[in-house]
Amino acid sequence: MGEVIMKIKVMPEDAGMDIEKLKEEIMKAIPDYAKVNKTEIAPIAFGLKALMLYVTMPDQSPDELMDKINAIEGVGNATIDELSLL
């Protein structure tokens, strides 16, 4: 089994939310089998920002990872924008 890299877009519940604090909470929730390679804060529209995570993990279902991210208080939703085999 190989590895995949994913670009995950995390939208906060509120535009005024502290993205750095949200990022810290997400980093604590990432399972041991997944590695966050890079993070970015991307402007979306009208002051709204998204947290972009670039995650490497084994080629398996990302459901557990996505469920953990979506369960964090302050996360509006998290979606996989890109997925590629390494």
All structural domains of the chain, each given as residue ranges with its CATH number in brackets, are: 3-85 (3.30.70.60)
Asked if residues 13 and 86 have their Cβ atoms less than 8 Å apart, the reply is no
Q: Would you state the pLDDT for residue 50?
A: 96
β-strand partners of 83: 6
24-77 residue pLDDT tens:
999 999 999 999 999 999 999 888 899 999 999 999 999 999 999 999 999 999
Report whether pLDDT(1) > 90. no
Asked if residues 80 and 5 have their Cβ atoms less than 8 Å apart, the reply is no
pTM: 0.93
β-strand partners of 85: 4
44-57 residue pLDDT tens:
988 889 999 999 99
Count other Cβ atoms within 10 Å, centred on residue 31. 10
